[in-house]
């Protein structure tokens, strides 16, 4: 009935129970966004991975061989998004997720240049651009955005990103659902709701301009993370794990264990 009265599909809303999701991962890595949707039991009609790393691409292809790949976020233009809309016209929800490079804003980088001066980190400006293109070319679907970045950035870089995204982020640490700290700033354009194991606190309460904090708590099975024969000595979370960077000589101002523990 709605289709017969509409000039284009989606002109009039239809009440449907079945929702198909198109996920678009900008700076997609090994496809954590797509994995998360699988864990949630979402029905996905497709996944578009925008990622430069060939190694990450091979990992994603091994698990989701039907995914579509784009080598560079700068290549995503109006014609490309329009082609997505024609191909994935059954999508009721388009979820644009992004984890932009953090090297230019990370507190672990003593030579960081900032959100807009670092060639890698300034790529975050493409996120709202691509999201808006999706809103234009998927008029029948909900288009939602989700971003994450390091919580160790300073207030100036956080404010710059907030201005570009048009929203303030939430502080979320994964220590309540895993064994290690993983503090992140997560921005999304929908409302959070409290539930069992989820507590929400509004207001920044610190140096960064935040919307609030979300605490996640669940019973963690350590055997799911530790190799057989190993046990955890206490209930404290491990420090944040970072990638190792082998070097034949000491790096300038390295971030070592002395910065991770307090007496």
Domains of the chain by residue range: 19-230
- Kindly tell me if the per-residue pLDDT of 257 is higher than 90: no
Chain centroid to Cα 97, Å, comes to 5
Q: How confident is the model at residue 4 (pLDDT cuts 50, 70, 90)?
A: low
pLDDT of residue 124: 92
- Kindly tell me if the per-residue pLDDT of 3 is higher than 80: no
pLDDT tens digits, 39-90: 999 999 999 999 999 999 999 999 999 999 999 999 999 999 999 999 999 9
pLDDT of residue 2: 58
pLDDT of residue 131: 97
Q: What is the mean pLDDT of the chain?
A: 88
71 and 81 Cβ atoms separated by less than 8 Å: no
Q: What is the rounded CA–CA span in Å between residue 49 and residue 27?
A: 8
* Residue 255 in tokens: 């971030």
Listed residue (89, 71, 87) closest to 138, CA to CA: 89
Q: Which CATH class is domain 19-230?
A: alpha beta
- Kindly tell me if the per-residue pLDDT of 127 is higher than 60: yes
Q: How confident is the model at residue 111 (pLDDT cuts 50, 70, 90)?
A: confident
């Amino acid at each position: 009935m709605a289709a017969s009265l509409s000039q284009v599909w989606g002109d009039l809303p239809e009440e449907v129970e079945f929702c198909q999701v198109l996920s678009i991962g900008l700076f997609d890595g090994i496809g954590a966004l797509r994995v998360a949707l699988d864990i949630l039991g979402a029905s996905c009609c497709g996944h578009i991975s925008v990622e430069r790393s060939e190694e990450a691409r091979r990992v994603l292809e091994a698990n989701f061989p039907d995914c579509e790949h784009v080598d560079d976020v700068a290549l995503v233009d109006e014609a490309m998004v329009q082609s997505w809309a024609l191909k994935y016209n059954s999508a009721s929800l388009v979820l644009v997720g992004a984890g932009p490079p953090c090297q230019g804003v990370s507190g672990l980088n003593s030579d960081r240049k900032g959100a807009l001066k670092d060639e890698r980190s300034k790529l975050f400006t493409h996120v709202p651009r691509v999201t808006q293109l999706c809103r234009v070319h998927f008029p029948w679907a909900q288009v939602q955005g989700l971003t994450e970045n390091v919580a160790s950035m300073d207030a100036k870089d956080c404010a710059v990103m907030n201005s570009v995204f048009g929203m303030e982020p939430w502080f979320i640490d994964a220590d309540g659902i895993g064994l290690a700290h993983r503090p992140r700033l997560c921005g999304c354009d929908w409302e959070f709701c409290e539930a069992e194991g989820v507590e929400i606190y509004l207001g920044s309460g610190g140096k960064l301009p935040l919307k609030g904090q979300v605490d996640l708590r669940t019973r963690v099975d350590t055997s799911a993370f530790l190799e057989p024969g190993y046990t955890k000595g206490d209930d404290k979370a491990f420090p944040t794990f970072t990638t190792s960077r082998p070097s034949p000589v000491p790096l300038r101002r390295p971030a070592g264990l002395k910065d991770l523990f307090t007496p």
